[in-house]
Every structure is written in C-alpha cells, then in structure tokens.
Amino acid sequence: MFKILALAGVLFLVYIVFFKKNRENTINKTKKDDEVDTMTECPTCKVFVARDDSILSNGRYFCSKECLNK
C-alpha cells in the first residue's frame, strides 16, 4: 500500500514539474505576442508607433515631441 502511494506521489511531482514549465513557456509566448501587437496611431501625423516608444498625453499617444506640440 505504501509503495503505491509513494509511486503515485512521485508521478504527481514529475507531472507538476514538466507541465508547469510547459505552462510558463505558453504564458511567456503569449506575453511576447501581446507586446508586439501594441501599436497605436499618432493623431497628428498618422504614423503608427509602439506604445512603449510613444508619448502619452491626455489619453492619446504621440510619436514625438514635435507632434505633441502641434
């Protein structure tokens, strides 16, 4: 009886270790895909720019300080 429980415990731990890594890889790929898709259009010059590289002002994203000041 103890051997069966020990074997079940070991199999469960192996299952958790392997599938946890698989889930982490899937989550990381999803986050990277989301980062690539965050493009927005500058309201002044109509150029698309990544949100990470843009300037946020009054709820709108601008591509540069020149467009922000126009």
Region 47-59 average pLDDT: 89
Are residues 33 and 45 both part of a single domain? no
For residue 66, which of 41, 45, 38 has the smallest C-alpha distance?
A: 45
How far is residue 29's CA from residue 22's CA, in Å, rounded to a whole number? 11
Q: Mean pLDDT, the chain, as a whole number?
A: 80
Residues near 67 by beta carbon (within 8 Å), at least 6 away in sequence: 42, 43, 44, 45
Are residues 13 and 43 both part of a single domain? no
| Total tally of structural domains belonging to the chain | 2
Are residues 26 and 48 both part of a single domain? no
Domain of residue 66 covers 39-70
Are residues 43 and 23 both part of a single domain? no
Are residues 45 and 67 both part of a single domain? yes
State pLDDT tens for residues 9-46.
898 888 877 776 666 666 666 555 555 568 899 999 99
